[in-house]
Amino acid sequence: MKTFKGNVLFLDRSDINTDEIIPAKYLTEITKEALKPNLLEDLVLPGFARADTQDKAVIVTRENFGCGSSREHAPWALEVNGINVVIAESFARIFRQNMYNCGMFAIELPKETIDNLFLNYAGKEVTMAVDVDSNQIVIQADGKSETIDFKVGEFDKTLVKEGGWVGYADKNY
């Protein structure tokens, strides 16, 4: 199982698409590691700089994250940068499934909860940790701690625990 804990990158925009996460010109790479320097290279978001992705483990964002292409290079570009968790109001279907298929978390939270995360924590030193067994996100900032419950389907949780879909499918089908 991967690790789901660390610093948080806040991306305050909806509809961040796969071309923004990793542009098509890098799809000619045949290793995941090669995608590392180009994560979010084409992201259109005032105030965002590529360096902001350094030392992050979690992304918090708005609606429809990962829309567009089916490229699993998007989760891979996150993974090789140490980001195994994206928390959003909603995801595009293929991106969301790709995350769980890779044993990573794509967690959906209600709009009000996401609003509060931005309001309370964006711009601060904050860490988040996903507790796989209790379905909770533990947030630490300013020496205080907050816990948020989330929902995850049994299938998706199994994929996270087993490290992805290939091993599971090979065993069962």
Partner 1 sequence: MGKTIAEKIFDAHRVDEPFPDTHVLKLDRVFCHEITTPIAITDLMARGMDRVFDPTKIKAVIDHVTPAKDSKTAAQGKILRDWARRHEIKDFFDIGKNGVCHAIFPEKGFVRPGYTIIMGDSHTCTHGAFGAFAAGIGTTDLEVGILKGVCAFHFPKTIKIVLTGTLKPGVYAKDLILFIIKELTVNGATNMVIEFTGPVVDAMSMESRMTLCNMAIEAGGTCGICYPDMTTVDYLWDFIQDEFATKADALADYSKWVSDVDAEYERVLEYNVSELQPMVTVGFKPDQVRTVAEVSGTKVDQIYIGSCTNGRIEDLRIAAEVLRGKKISDNVRAIVSPATPAIYSMALKEGIIEIFQDAGFCVTNPTCGACLGMSNGVLAEGEVCASTTNRNFNGRMGKGGMVHLMSPASAAAAALAGTIVNSLLFKA
What residues line the site for partner 1 (CB under 8 A)?
A: 15, 17, 19-20, 23-25, 27-30, 32, 42, 44, 63-64, 67-72, 75, 90-94, 97-98, 101-102, 153-155, 158, 164-166, 169-170, 172-173
* 21 residue type, one letter: I
CB of 87 to partner 1, least distance (A): 17
* Nearest alpha-carbon partner for 62 in 14, 10, 120, 112: 14
| Comparison of 5 and 157: residue with beta carbon closer to partner 1 | 157
Q: Which residues of 140-171 are buried (b: 16+ CB within 10 A; e: fewer)?
A: eeeeeeeebebebeeebeebbeeeebeebeee
Q: Which is nearer to partner 1, 56 or 71 (CB)?
A: 71
Q: What is the closest distance, in whole angstroms, from the C-beta atom of residue 76 to partner 1 in the complex? A: 8
User: CB-based burial of residue 35 (10 Å sphere; 0-12 exposed, 13-18 middle, 19+ buried)?
Assistant: buried
Nearest approach, Cβ of residue 36 and partner 1 (Å): 15
Q: How far is CA 67 from the centre of its chain?
A: 13
> What's the min distance (Å) between Cβ of 107 and partner 1?
16
